A = this chain, B = another copy of it.
Protein backbone atom coordinates (compact mmCIF):
# COMPACT_ATOMS: atom_id res chain seq x y z
CA UNK A 1 0.00 0.00 0.00
CA UNK A 2 1.50 3.30 -1.03
CA UNK A 3 3.10 5.48 1.67
CA UNK A 4 2.43 2.84 4.33
CA UNK A 5 5.99 1.60 4.86
CA UNK A 6 6.92 0.60 8.41
CA UNK A 7 10.66 0.38 9.01
CA UNK A 8 11.78 -2.43 11.29
CA UNK A 9 15.34 -2.53 10.06
CA UNK A 10 18.37 -1.55 12.15
CA UNK A 11 18.72 1.79 10.36
CA UNK A 12 17.36 4.03 9.12
CA UNK A 13 15.03 3.73 12.07
CA UNK A 14 11.60 5.36 12.42
CA UNK A 15 11.69 9.16 12.70
CA UNK A 16 9.13 11.05 14.82
CA UNK A 17 6.84 13.37 12.86
CA UNK A 18 8.15 16.49 14.61
CA UNK A 19 11.71 15.64 13.60
CA UNK A 20 10.58 15.03 10.00
CA UNK A 21 8.96 18.46 10.00
CA UNK A 22 12.23 19.91 11.31
CA UNK A 23 13.98 18.29 8.37
CA UNK A 24 11.71 20.31 6.08
CA UNK A 25 12.63 23.65 7.64
CA UNK A 26 14.62 25.90 5.41
CA UNK A 27 18.29 25.69 6.44
CA UNK A 28 19.65 28.74 8.20
CA UNK A 29 23.24 29.94 7.86
CA UNK A 30 25.64 27.75 9.82
CA UNK A 31 27.78 30.76 10.73
CA UNK A 32 24.86 32.63 12.33
CA UNK A 33 24.21 33.35 16.02
CA UNK A 34 20.97 31.40 15.74
CA UNK A 35 22.83 28.29 14.65
CA UNK A 36 25.50 28.77 17.32
CA UNK A 37 22.75 28.61 19.94
CA UNK A 38 21.43 25.38 18.41
CA UNK A 39 24.91 23.82 18.35
CA UNK A 40 25.45 24.78 21.98
CA UNK A 41 22.22 23.12 23.11
CA UNK A 42 22.71 20.03 20.94
CA UNK A 43 26.27 19.55 22.17
CA UNK A 44 25.17 19.76 25.81
CA UNK A 45 22.41 17.25 25.22
CA UNK A 46 24.73 14.91 23.33
CA UNK A 47 26.98 14.90 26.41
CA UNK A 48 23.96 13.97 28.49
CA UNK A 49 23.13 11.07 26.15
CA UNK A 50 26.76 9.94 26.12
CA UNK A 51 27.00 10.27 29.91
CA UNK A 52 30.21 12.23 29.58
CA UNK A 53 31.71 15.58 30.46
CA UNK A 54 34.17 15.12 27.59
CA UNK A 55 33.84 16.06 23.97
CA UNK A 56 31.09 14.67 21.76
CA UNK A 57 31.77 15.82 18.21
CA UNK A 58 29.47 15.82 15.18
CA UNK A 59 30.64 14.99 11.66
CA UNK A 60 28.88 15.12 8.30
CA UNK A 61 29.42 11.40 7.67
CA UNK A 62 27.87 7.99 8.23
CA UNK A 63 28.68 5.85 11.29
CA UNK A 64 31.56 4.30 9.34
CA UNK A 65 33.04 7.77 8.82
CA UNK A 66 32.67 8.43 12.55
CA UNK A 67 34.44 5.16 13.38
CA UNK A 68 37.23 5.92 10.91
CA UNK A 69 37.69 9.31 12.59
CA UNK A 70 37.72 7.52 15.95
CA UNK A 71 40.58 5.29 14.78
CA UNK A 72 42.80 7.58 12.69
CA UNK A 73 43.00 10.48 15.14
CA UNK A 74 44.68 8.56 17.92
CA UNK A 75 47.14 6.18 16.26
CA UNK A 76 50.27 6.14 14.13
CA UNK A 77 51.34 3.85 11.27
CA UNK A 78 52.49 0.46 12.55
CA UNK A 79 50.74 0.79 15.91
CA UNK A 80 49.61 -2.56 17.23
CA UNK A 81 45.85 -2.79 17.75
CA UNK A 82 43.48 -5.55 18.76
CA UNK A 83 40.24 -5.63 16.78
CA UNK A 84 37.30 -7.71 17.92
CA UNK A 85 35.45 -9.33 15.01
CA UNK A 86 32.25 -11.30 15.31
CA UNK A 87 30.27 -9.81 12.46
CA UNK A 88 30.28 -7.47 9.51
CA UNK A 89 31.06 -4.36 11.50
CA UNK A 90 33.90 -5.83 13.53
CA UNK A 91 35.41 -6.99 10.23
CA UNK A 92 34.98 -3.49 8.85
CA UNK A 93 37.02 -1.88 11.63
CA UNK A 94 39.80 -4.36 10.95
CA UNK A 95 39.66 -3.28 7.29
CA UNK A 96 39.88 0.39 8.27
CA UNK A 97 42.84 -0.27 10.57
CA UNK A 98 44.63 -2.28 7.86
CA UNK A 99 43.90 0.41 5.23
CA UNK A 100 45.68 2.93 7.45
CA UNK A 101 48.72 0.74 8.00
CA UNK A 102 48.12 -0.33 11.58
CA UNK A 103 49.46 -3.63 12.86
CA UNK A 104 46.14 -5.41 13.27
CA UNK A 105 45.50 -8.48 15.35
CA UNK A 106 41.94 -9.69 15.00
CA UNK A 107 40.21 -11.45 17.84
CA UNK A 108 37.69 -13.38 15.89
CA UNK A 109 34.64 -15.33 16.93
CA UNK A 110 32.11 -17.03 14.69
CA UNK A 111 29.27 -14.76 13.55
CA UNK A 112 26.38 -15.23 15.95
CA UNK A 113 28.58 -15.69 19.02
CA UNK A 114 29.74 -12.90 21.33
CA UNK A 115 33.36 -11.78 21.58
CA UNK A 116 35.17 -13.66 24.34
CA UNK A 117 36.51 -11.18 26.93
CA UNK A 118 38.99 -13.82 28.09
CA UNK A 119 40.77 -13.68 24.72
CA UNK A 120 41.21 -9.94 25.17
CA UNK A 121 42.43 -10.42 28.73
CA UNK A 122 45.07 -12.91 27.63
CA UNK A 123 46.42 -10.76 24.81
CA UNK A 124 46.47 -7.66 26.96
CA UNK A 125 48.06 -9.40 29.97
CA UNK A 126 50.77 -10.89 27.73
CA UNK A 127 51.64 -7.44 26.39
CA UNK A 128 54.05 -6.47 29.15
CA UNK A 129 55.89 -4.19 26.73
CA UNK A 130 52.70 -2.17 26.35
CA UNK A 131 52.83 -2.34 22.58
CA UNK A 132 49.07 -2.56 22.14
CA UNK A 133 47.94 0.99 21.51
CA UNK A 134 44.22 0.38 21.10
CA UNK A 135 41.46 -2.16 21.41
CA UNK A 136 38.77 -1.63 18.81
CA UNK A 137 35.42 -3.33 19.04
CA UNK A 138 31.77 -3.21 18.15
CA UNK A 139 29.43 -2.98 21.09
CA UNK A 140 26.28 -4.17 19.36
CA UNK A 141 26.91 -6.27 16.23
CA UNK A 142 24.11 -5.16 13.93
CA UNK A 143 24.80 -7.93 11.43
CA UNK A 144 24.01 -10.71 13.90
CA UNK A 145 22.00 -9.11 16.71
CA UNK A 146 24.69 -9.85 19.30
CA UNK A 147 25.69 -7.46 22.05
CA UNK A 148 29.29 -7.84 23.13
CA UNK A 149 30.36 -7.64 26.75
CA UNK A 150 31.94 -4.20 26.48
CA UNK A 151 32.04 -3.70 30.23
CA UNK A 152 34.23 -6.74 30.87
CA UNK A 153 36.47 -6.24 27.84
CA UNK A 154 36.93 -2.63 28.92
CA UNK A 155 38.04 -3.78 32.38
CA UNK A 156 40.81 -5.81 30.76
CA UNK A 157 41.81 -2.78 28.69
CA UNK A 158 41.93 -0.68 31.84
CA UNK A 159 44.08 -3.33 33.54
CA UNK A 160 46.52 -3.02 30.62
CA UNK A 161 46.69 0.69 31.30
CA UNK A 162 48.21 1.86 28.03
CA UNK A 163 45.76 0.90 25.27
CA UNK A 164 42.85 3.10 24.31
CA UNK A 165 39.43 1.52 23.93
CA UNK A 166 37.69 2.55 20.73
CA UNK A 167 34.05 1.51 20.52
CA UNK A 168 31.53 1.26 17.70
CA UNK A 169 28.34 2.12 19.57
CA UNK A 170 26.43 2.77 16.34
CA UNK A 171 23.47 0.58 17.32
CA UNK A 172 23.93 0.62 21.09
CA UNK A 173 24.01 4.36 21.83
CA UNK A 174 20.49 5.32 22.88
CA UNK A 175 19.43 1.67 23.14
CA UNK A 176 21.43 0.43 26.08
CA UNK A 177 23.65 1.82 28.79
CA UNK A 178 27.02 3.12 27.51
CA UNK A 179 28.29 5.12 30.51
CA UNK A 180 31.33 6.68 28.89
CA UNK A 181 32.84 8.49 31.85
CA UNK A 182 31.97 5.83 34.43
CA UNK A 183 33.59 3.07 32.38
CA UNK A 184 36.33 5.32 30.97
CA UNK A 185 35.60 4.62 27.30
CA UNK A 186 38.10 6.61 25.25
CA UNK A 187 36.45 6.88 21.86
CA UNK A 188 32.83 6.03 21.13
CA UNK A 189 31.39 6.42 17.63
CA UNK A 190 27.78 6.37 16.50
CA UNK A 191 25.43 7.48 13.71
CA UNK A 192 22.26 9.49 13.45
CA UNK A 193 19.91 6.98 11.80
CA UNK A 194 19.85 4.66 14.82
CA UNK A 195 19.01 5.44 18.44
CA UNK A 196 19.08 9.17 17.67
CA UNK A 197 15.77 8.81 15.78
CA UNK A 198 16.73 11.05 12.84
CA UNK A 199 17.67 10.27 9.22
CA UNK A 200 21.22 9.26 8.19
CA UNK A 201 24.02 11.72 7.48
CA UNK A 202 25.42 12.72 10.86
CA UNK A 203 28.11 10.85 12.78
CA UNK A 204 29.19 11.27 16.40
CA UNK A 205 32.46 10.63 18.19
CA UNK A 206 33.13 11.06 21.89
CA UNK A 207 36.73 11.61 22.93
CA UNK A 208 38.26 11.14 26.41
CA UNK A 209 41.11 13.17 27.92
CA UNK A 210 43.37 10.12 27.48
CA UNK A 211 42.47 9.92 23.80
CA UNK A 212 43.29 13.63 23.38
CA UNK A 213 46.71 12.91 24.88
CA UNK A 214 47.23 10.21 22.25
CA UNK A 215 46.00 12.62 19.57
CA UNK A 216 48.98 14.89 20.24
CA UNK A 217 51.47 12.34 18.97
CA UNK A 218 49.27 10.34 16.57
CA UNK A 219 50.65 10.49 13.04
CA UNK A 220 48.03 8.99 10.74
CA UNK A 221 47.12 11.56 8.08
CA UNK A 222 43.76 13.28 8.39
CA UNK A 223 42.08 16.53 7.50
CA UNK A 224 38.30 16.31 7.05
CA UNK A 225 38.19 13.83 9.93
CA UNK A 226 40.73 15.70 12.08
CA UNK A 227 38.84 15.73 15.38
CA UNK A 228 41.07 18.47 16.77
CA UNK A 229 39.47 20.85 14.29
CA UNK A 230 35.99 19.78 15.41
CA UNK A 231 36.84 20.17 19.08
CA UNK A 232 38.35 23.62 18.56
CA UNK A 233 35.29 24.74 16.59
CA UNK A 234 32.85 23.15 19.06
CA UNK A 235 34.38 25.24 21.87
CA UNK A 236 33.09 28.25 19.92
CA UNK A 237 29.75 26.59 19.13
CA UNK A 238 30.85 26.16 15.55
CA UNK A 239 31.96 23.49 13.08
CA UNK A 240 35.11 23.37 10.95
CA UNK A 241 33.17 22.54 7.78
CA UNK A 242 29.58 23.04 6.67
CA UNK A 243 27.46 20.77 8.88
CA UNK A 244 24.23 18.96 7.85
CA UNK A 245 22.11 21.78 9.23
CA UNK A 246 18.69 20.17 8.84
CA UNK A 247 19.78 16.99 10.59
CA UNK A 248 21.18 18.96 13.51
CA UNK A 249 17.91 20.85 13.90
CA UNK A 250 15.99 17.56 13.83
CA UNK A 251 18.46 16.19 16.39
CA UNK A 252 17.77 19.15 18.66
CA UNK A 253 14.17 17.90 18.71
CA UNK A 254 14.84 14.21 19.27
CA UNK A 255 17.40 14.85 22.02
CA UNK A 256 14.70 16.79 23.87
CA UNK A 257 12.32 13.87 23.37
CA UNK A 258 14.97 11.52 24.76
CA UNK A 259 15.50 13.76 27.78
CA UNK A 260 11.75 13.83 28.41
CA UNK A 261 11.72 10.02 28.37
CA UNK A 262 14.92 9.64 30.42
CA UNK A 263 17.93 7.39 29.87
CA UNK A 264 16.84 4.57 32.12
CA UNK A 265 13.30 4.35 30.67
CA UNK A 266 14.81 4.37 27.17
CA UNK A 267 17.07 1.44 28.01
CA UNK A 268 14.19 -0.40 29.73
CA UNK A 269 11.98 0.16 26.68
CA UNK A 270 14.59 -1.37 24.38
CA UNK A 271 14.99 -4.29 26.75
CA UNK A 272 11.22 -4.80 26.71
CA UNK A 273 11.07 -4.56 22.91
CA UNK A 274 13.81 -7.17 22.70
CA UNK A 275 12.10 -9.48 25.19
CA UNK A 276 8.74 -9.18 23.43
CA UNK A 277 10.23 -9.72 19.98
CA UNK A 278 12.21 -12.76 21.08
CA UNK A 279 9.29 -14.24 23.00
CA UNK A 280 6.99 -13.77 20.02
CA UNK A 281 9.43 -15.25 17.51
CA UNK A 282 10.16 -18.21 19.78
CA UNK A 283 6.46 -18.90 20.31
CA UNK A 284 6.02 -18.98 16.53
CA UNK A 285 8.54 -21.80 16.44
CA UNK A 286 11.29 -19.84 14.70
CA UNK A 287 14.84 -20.24 16.00
CA UNK A 288 16.57 -17.11 17.28
CA UNK A 289 20.07 -16.58 15.91
CA UNK A 290 21.59 -15.07 19.09
CA UNK A 291 21.53 -16.75 22.51
CA UNK A 292 19.53 -14.99 25.24
CA UNK A 293 22.72 -14.21 27.16
CA UNK A 294 24.06 -11.83 24.50
CA UNK A 295 20.88 -10.82 22.67
CA UNK A 296 20.88 -7.30 21.25
CA UNK A 297 18.39 -4.79 22.62
CA UNK A 298 18.37 -3.12 19.18
CA UNK A 299 17.89 -5.95 16.72
CA UNK A 300 16.73 -9.54 16.72
CA UNK A 301 18.07 -11.96 14.13
CA UNK A 302 15.88 -14.95 13.25
CA UNK A 303 17.23 -18.06 11.54
CA UNK A 304 14.18 -19.94 10.23
CA UNK A 305 14.59 -23.59 9.21
CA UNK A 306 11.04 -24.42 8.09
CA UNK A 307 10.98 -21.62 5.54
CA UNK A 308 13.37 -19.39 3.60
CA UNK A 309 14.26 -16.18 5.40
CA UNK A 310 13.95 -14.14 2.20
CA UNK A 311 10.41 -15.43 1.63
CA UNK A 312 9.38 -14.20 5.06
CA UNK A 313 10.89 -10.79 4.34
CA UNK A 314 9.20 -10.65 0.96
CA UNK A 315 5.73 -11.35 2.31
CA UNK A 316 6.20 -9.02 5.26
CA UNK A 317 7.02 -6.28 2.77
CA UNK A 318 4.42 -7.04 0.09
CA UNK A 319 1.46 -7.89 2.29
CA UNK A 320 2.10 -5.71 5.33
CA UNK A 321 4.54 -3.02 4.20
CA UNK A 322 6.92 -3.94 6.98
CA UNK A 323 10.59 -3.67 6.02
CA UNK A 324 12.79 -6.23 7.77
CA UNK A 325 16.52 -6.58 7.14
CA UNK A 326 18.09 -9.61 5.51
CA UNK A 327 21.33 -11.36 6.38
CA UNK A 328 24.66 -9.93 5.29
CA UNK A 329 27.61 -11.69 3.64
CA UNK A 330 27.44 -15.47 4.29
CA UNK A 331 24.26 -15.02 6.33
CA UNK A 332 22.39 -13.72 3.28
CA UNK A 333 19.27 -15.82 2.88
CA UNK A 334 19.92 -17.59 6.19
CA UNK A 335 18.55 -15.01 8.62
CA UNK A 336 16.20 -12.08 8.70
CA UNK A 337 16.55 -9.28 11.21
CA UNK A 338 13.88 -7.33 13.06
CA UNK A 339 15.02 -3.87 14.12
CA UNK A 340 13.57 -2.47 17.35
CA UNK A 341 15.83 0.50 17.80
CA UNK A 342 15.06 4.17 18.41
CA UNK A 343 11.53 5.48 17.94
CA UNK A 344 9.87 2.09 18.40
CA UNK A 345 7.04 1.32 20.81
CA UNK A 346 5.53 -1.83 22.29
CA UNK A 347 2.76 -1.47 19.72
CA UNK A 348 5.25 -1.75 16.88
CA UNK A 349 6.52 -5.09 18.15
CA UNK A 350 2.97 -6.42 18.49
CA UNK A 351 2.36 -5.30 14.91
CA UNK A 352 5.48 -7.04 13.64
CA UNK A 353 4.80 -10.30 15.49
CA UNK A 354 1.19 -10.44 14.34
CA UNK A 355 2.20 -9.79 10.74
CA UNK A 356 4.91 -12.42 11.07
CA UNK A 357 2.32 -14.98 12.10
CA UNK A 358 0.20 -14.05 9.10
CA UNK A 359 3.24 -14.37 6.83
CA UNK A 360 4.06 -17.81 8.23
CA UNK A 361 0.49 -18.95 7.59
CA UNK A 362 0.80 -17.76 4.01
CA UNK A 363 4.03 -19.75 3.71
CA UNK A 364 2.36 -22.87 5.08
CA UNK A 365 4.38 -22.97 8.28
CA UNK A 366 2.42 -24.52 11.13
CA UNK A 367 5.04 -24.81 13.85
CA UNK A 368 2.92 -22.98 16.41
CA UNK A 369 -0.51 -22.60 17.97
CA UNK A 370 -2.38 -19.74 16.22
CA UNK A 371 -2.01 -16.57 18.29
CA UNK A 372 0.89 -17.97 20.28
CA UNK A 373 3.35 -15.32 19.02
CA UNK A 374 1.22 -12.42 20.17
CA UNK A 375 0.32 -14.12 23.44
CA UNK A 376 4.00 -14.50 24.25
CA UNK A 377 4.90 -10.97 23.13
CA UNK A 378 2.09 -9.48 25.23
CA UNK A 379 3.19 -11.49 28.23
CA UNK A 380 6.76 -10.24 27.77
CA UNK A 381 5.58 -6.64 27.51
CA UNK A 382 3.54 -7.00 30.68
CA UNK A 383 6.27 -8.78 32.60
CA UNK A 384 7.43 -6.83 35.64
CA UNK A 385 10.92 -8.27 35.41
CA UNK A 386 12.40 -4.92 34.48
Which residues of A are interface residues toward B (Cβ below 8 A)?
5, 7, 9, 11-12, 14-15, 20-21, 23-32, 60-65, 68, 95-96, 99-101, 191, 193, 199-202, 220-226, 241-247, 323, 325-326
Contact = CB atoms under 8 A, between A and B. Distances in A.
A245 B12 contact: yes
Given A62-B242, A65-B241, A224-B225, 18 more contacts: A5-B26, A9-B29, A29-B325, A30-B200, A31-B325, A60-B201, A61-B65, A62-B241, A63-B241, A63-B242, A64-B241, A96-B223, A99-B223, A100-B221, A100-B223, A191-B242, A200-B245, A244-B247
A225 to B, nearest CB: 8
Q: How many copies does the complex hold?
A: 2
15 contacts: A7-B26, A12-B27, A15-B27, A21-B24, A23-B246, A60-B60, A62-B242, A64-B224, A95-B223, A96-B223, A96-B224, A99-B221, A199-B244, A200-B246, A221-B221
A15 B11 contact: no
A237 B64 CA distance: 19
B99 A200 contact: no
B21 A221 contact: no
Nearest to A72: B221
Contacts of A243: 62, 200-201
A267 to B, nearest CB: 24
A256 B325 CA distance: 31
Contacts of A224: 61-62, 64-65, 68, 96, 225
Nearest to A240: B64
Contacts of A60: 60-62, 65, 200-201
Contact of A27 (B30, B101, B199, B246): B199
Nearest to A23: B23
